[in-house]
Amino acid sequence: MKSILRKIAQLIYKNGIKPVIFKIDPEKVHDKGVELGVFFGKYRFTKKTTSFLFNYSDKSLEQNIFGIKFKNPVGLAAGYDKYARMIQIIGDLGFGFEEVGSISDKPSAGNPKPRLWRLIKSRGLIVGYGLNNDGAQAAAEQIKNLKLEIPIGISIAKTNSPKVCSLEESITDVVSGFKTLAGYGDYFTFNISCPNTLEEGLFYNPKNLEIALKEISALKISKPIFIKMSPDLSLQVVDEIIEISRKYGIKGFVLSNITKHREMMKNLDKEELKKIDHGKGGISGKPVEDLADNLIKYVYQKTRGEFIIIGCGGIFSAEDAYKKIRLGASLVQLITGMIFEGPQLIGQINEGLAKLVKKDGFKNISEAIGIDVK
């Protein structure tokens, strides 16, 4: 019955809502989507209705990772709820967890508009926001009084501002962001891979990353910290990040962020890209999927469960999510799939995952992690 309702919601989104909203500026639609989420998260009735329509539960999808209970492995990736305003509706939409942010120590307006474009044929987005957010203090105020119904990860990045430039300033800034937010949420992600900032790549330099992680680890934050990587890194840099992460107690990796490598992407309509592209910004969705999958496989092959992997990039179906899990991800995240397919996608992915787990003869999704990696 509920899967029929989700199918109807999918048809309404695809044929009624999407053709209208895809004619409007993507950032305006994003902002409206957040407003709608805030509204639906405010009231018992709207929360219950949303949950009835969209939420899918099954015991086989539940996991306990670092003592955190995940009702399912599908999370909202960092960048949709930048200001941590939608926390009260995300669980009802069917997500198993949410990553808010990225948040920086100081507020930042981000890059000038326009800074978000659709690649309709390629099923991706060009993202050039540049870490707009209200800063760590405001995020702490926002989160502090909320009842967290699902695990919340907080993505922390260096403030994107010409005032925070030198290595010393950058590290002080990141450490201060962690300090301010240390008491909130369930896990942290250190986002070192935003391609839209002034000092992109600052922490790909192993010496810089090592100093930053040393100072962050000195804060003795009791919650797990992940590092979010770019899919465009050389394997040598990936190896160095793994090595330094080992030394400083990093618990896992988010693989991956958006990609800048236009020439390396499969599933990319080059003609469409040429019309829209300014060479700035990173690309999400289907064009990044293979790059993210390769990175997940590589890191899992090297580390075999020593680090928890959150797989991200181009998930549009249960099969896409399951592929990442079989390559080594314990959890997955998405944004672009939801924008292209509609909010019912989360329940549909979870329903599909439960079927795939059963079909493969597993009792729990955790048994599928990494089984395609020799």
Ligand X SMILES: Cc1cc2nc3c(=O)[nH]c(=O)nc-3n(C[C@H](O)[C@H](O)[C@H](O)COP(=O)(O)O)c2cc1C
Long-range contacts of 139-143 (CB under 8 A, 24+ apart): 139/83, 139/84, 139/100, 139/101, 139/103, 139/181, 139/184, 140/180, 140/181, 140/183, 140/184, 142/83, 142/84, 142/85, 143/84, 143/87, 143/100, 143/184, 143/185
Find the shortest distance in angstroms from Cβ 18 to ligand X. Answer: 16
**Contact pick of 55, 180, 284, 344 for ligand X (by CB under 6 A):** 284
Please report which residue ranges of 55-204 form alpha helices under DSSP H.
87-90, 136-144, 167-181
Residue nearer to ligand X on the CB measure, 47 or 90:
90
User: How far is residue 114's CA from residue 124's CA, in Å, rounded to a whole number?
Assistant: 16
**Which lies closer to ligand X via its Cβ, residue 131 or residue 354?**
131
Amino acid at 296: I
Closest to ligand X by CB, 125 vs 368, is 125
- Written as six digits, the tokens of 91 are 């669980």
Q: Is 273 in the site for ligand X (CB under 6 A)?
A: no
| Of residues 331-350, those binding ligand X (CB under 6 A) | 334-337
78, 143, 242, 295: which one contacts ligand X (CB under 6 A)?
78
DSSP 58-84: -GGG-EEETTEEESSSEEEPTTSSTTS
Interface stretch with ligand X, choices 6-14, 180-188, 269-277, 284-292 (CB under 6 A): 284-292
If the CB atoms of residues 5 and 110 are measured against ligand X, the closer one turns out to be 110
Task: For ligand X, give the closer residue by CB, 284 or 330.
Answer: 284
From the CB of residue 4, how many other CB atoms can be counted at a distance below 10 Å? 8
Q: Please, where are the H alpha helices in the chain?
A: 2-12, 18-21, 26-40, 44-54, 87-90, 136-144, 167-181, 206-218, 235-247, 270-276, 286-303, 318-326, 336-341, 345-359
Q: Is 129 in the site for ligand X (CB under 6 A)?
A: yes
Out of 209, 227, 312, 365, which residue is the one contacting ligand X (CB under 6 A)?
A: 312
Which residues lie below 8 Å from residue 166, measured CB to CB, with a gap of 6+?
none
CB 197, CB 156: distance < 8 Å:
no
Number of residues engaging ligand X in binding (CB under 6 A):
28
Which residue, 291 or 357, has its beta carbon nearer to ligand X? 291
**Distance from C-alpha of 10 to C-alpha of 7, rounded to nearest angstrom:** 5
Q: Which is nearer to ligand X, 314 or 342 (CB)?
A: 314
CB of 337 to ligand X, least distance (A): 5
Question: Which of 155, 159, 160, 330 is the binder for ligand X (CB under 6 A)?
Answer: 155
Q: Residue from 315, 345, 349, 357 that binds ligand X (CB under 6 A)? A: 315
Which tokens belong to 14? Answer: 């695809």
Interaction residues for ligand X, span 215-254 (CB under 6 A): 228
Nearer to ligand X, 334 or 369 (CB): 334
Q: What are the tokens at 160? A: 């994107």
Three-state secondary-structure class, residue 98: strand
Query: Under the criterion CB under 6 A, does residue 259 sit at the interface with ligand X?
Result: no
- 180/230 with CB nearer ligand X: 230
Nearer to ligand X, 254 or 368 (CB): 254
Q: Which of 127, 181, 242, 353 is the binder for ligand X (CB under 6 A)?
A: 127
Residue 255 contacts ligand X per CB under 6 A: no
* Binding window for ligand X (CB under 6 A); candidates: 50-58, 89-97, 207-215, 306-314: 306-314
| 318 is a site residue for ligand X (CB under 6 A) | no
Give counts: helices (H), strands (E), the chain: 14, 13
In the range 179-198, which residues lie near ligand X by CB under 6 A? Answer: 191, 194
Whole-angstrom distance, CA of residue 315 vs CA of residue 280 = 23
Region binding ligand X by CB under 6 A among candidate stretches 34-42, 75-83, 164-172, 267-275: 75-83
Q: Is 73 in the site for ligand X (CB under 6 A)?
A: no
Under the rule (CB under 6 A), what is the footprint of ligand X? 77-79, 82, 101-102, 116, 125, 127, 129, 131, 155, 191, 194, 228, 257-258, 284-285, 288, 312-315, 334-337
